[in-house]
Chain A
């Protein structure tokens, strides 16, 4: 079992729809959770960070964290073609030494 698991996709949604991206992690000692966006051939850039259970909203993006279920998600409202990218879930843990674990990413395609 991978430490951080994501559906590889591609996830295809029409323009204006809600895109829902999911991520599960295995280490209960995980403390910090991040969503990064990576365009093809580019470096990752941070979209959202979340540290406590519940929802965190920033513009069209909402991150949701449920530590009991070891689950973190990202919702993108009013999806735009420019949102088409790979979304990487990242988890920081500090058990047995600090490490950031990235999921393999979910490819999102927003159709105009």
Chain B
């Protein structure tokens, strides 16, 4: 079946602009995660959605970052007033249910802020 998809695959923007990154999880997966990965670094946890529960936003680096998940499926990560340090690959993952389940990653969105 279809895996996790993300769009766009690449995004180049100017400093100060807002960007929206989209994630379509695997159908039936209730848990969805956002991470970012800077060049040569590990994954930095951003936010976790589980079903209809309030999301865990503890990893969001600043109030310029926000995410929502509509209808328990598609998620959008929004970065307002982008800065050069926001440049990274943003990865989305989904899992069947709880945090103990395997996370399946999408291909990522490479964000470049000029």
Contacts and interface: CB of A to CB of B under 8 A. Distances in A.
Interface stretch (B37-45, B66-74, B76-84): B37-45
Interface residues of A, number: 25
B56 A102 contact: no
Contacts of A4: 42
Contacts of A49: 100, 102
Contacts of B104: 46
A54 B100 CA distance: 17
B107 interface: yes
A90 B99 CA distance: 12
B58 interface: yes
A92 interface: yes
A88 B44 CA distance: 12
Interface of A: 4, 31-32, 34, 42-46, 49, 51, 88, 90, 92, 94, 96-105
